[in-house]
Homo-oligomer: A and B are copies of this chain.
Amino acid sequence: MRNLDEDTITQAVLARHTGAPDARLREIMTSLVQHLHAFARDVRLTEAEWFEGIRFLTEVGHMTDDKRQEFILLSDTLGLSMLVTALNNRKPPECTESTVFGPFHVEGSPEYPLGADVANGARGEPCYVRGRVLSRDGSPVPGAELQVWQADADGFYDVQYKGEHGHRARGTLHADAEGRFHFKSIRAEAYPIPHDGPVGRMLDALGRHPWRPAHLHFMITAPGFERLITHVFRNGDQYLDSDAVFGVRRSLIADWVVHPPGPTPDGGRSEQPFYTLDFDFVLNPLAQD
């Protein structure tokens, strides 16, 4: 331990962790130190570049508060969030794929009856969403809980507005006895992730844009099934091939079908064009043991 050099230091750090009481923590830190050191060696990181990294992480830390999680944005934009999602949600191909959670979910969104307008005043073109929650064999999952949330026509979630406006374009619903759900909302729109901080500057320096293709978030839970966290993406969006957070899955792209003014699926009439989205979700049963 008295003559470490660039070749021996990694083993010296790992040797220091042999007494860690938690075996999983030891495993994680062993791998982390090895990859971190391999990175510094591979690029021959200079002292000035190291310090730039310290400064960047400091800025990310200072940008982060109750409303803004800049470390999650960093993880998202480096593809780490999607990788962790994929590693932890392997499932049979007939099940709906998972994608990133994102930073805009809110616990305890208001409960709505089926058919309600969850937009609750959020600006956007009217959209009727319908579908079923199914098990792998195609049988319905009655009473599944669906949480939905999305950005408005200006690309913002309700929580990004200053001041108190209540929940908008988000809500909790329960599927009926046949696993069916339907609600009214607004058409999903593309939006840029918050990019007025260090992560935005990083994207800029890398020649990357901060946009996400239009999508509608779902979190679906039912007893006996794995929780499903996913989005439905709007077909035709210009950012489907360059999502800033790498969340797009082909199986999650669907058509928002436009309709002329006239009768709406809820039995009413629209004086303006409106959209419909139909999407069924297939949940993965919990492993028996």
Contact = CB atoms under 8 A, between A and B. Distances in A.
A32 B5 CA distance: 22
Interface in A195-211: 205-208
B4 A246 contact: yes
Query: Residue among A10, A22, A35, A83 with the most chain B CB within 10 A?
Result: A83
State the main secondary structure of chain A at its contact with B. helix
B17 A206 contact: yes
B61 A75 contact: no
A28 interface: yes
B54 A31 contact: no
Q: How many copies does the complex hold?
A: 2
B37 A79 contact: yes
A205 B22 CA distance: 8
A69 B246 CA distance: 32
Interface string A59-101: 0111010000101100100111111111110100000000000
B6 A83 contact: yes
A2 interface: yes
Contacts of A83: 6, 9-10, 37, 40-41
A279 interface: no
A36 interface: yes
Contact of A208 (B16, B44, B250): B16
A80 B51 CA distance: 12
Contacts of A107: none
A272 interface: no
A88 B12 contact: no
A288 interface: no
A220 to B, nearest CB: 16
A69 B32 CA distance: 21
Interface stretch (A131-139, A179-187, A236-244): A236-244
A26 interface: yes
Interface of A: 1-6, 9-10, 12-13, 16-17, 19-22, 25-29, 31-33, 35-47, 49-50, 54, 57-58, 60-62, 64, 69, 71-72, 75, 78-88, 90, 205-208, 240-243, 246, 248-250, 253
Given A54-B71, A57-B60, 10 more contacts: A1-B241, A4-B86, A9-B83, A13-B79, A16-B206, A19-B207, A19-B208, A20-B207, A31-B43, A33-B78
6 contacts: A6-B87, A9-B79, A27-B43, A31-B43, A36-B39, A50-B80
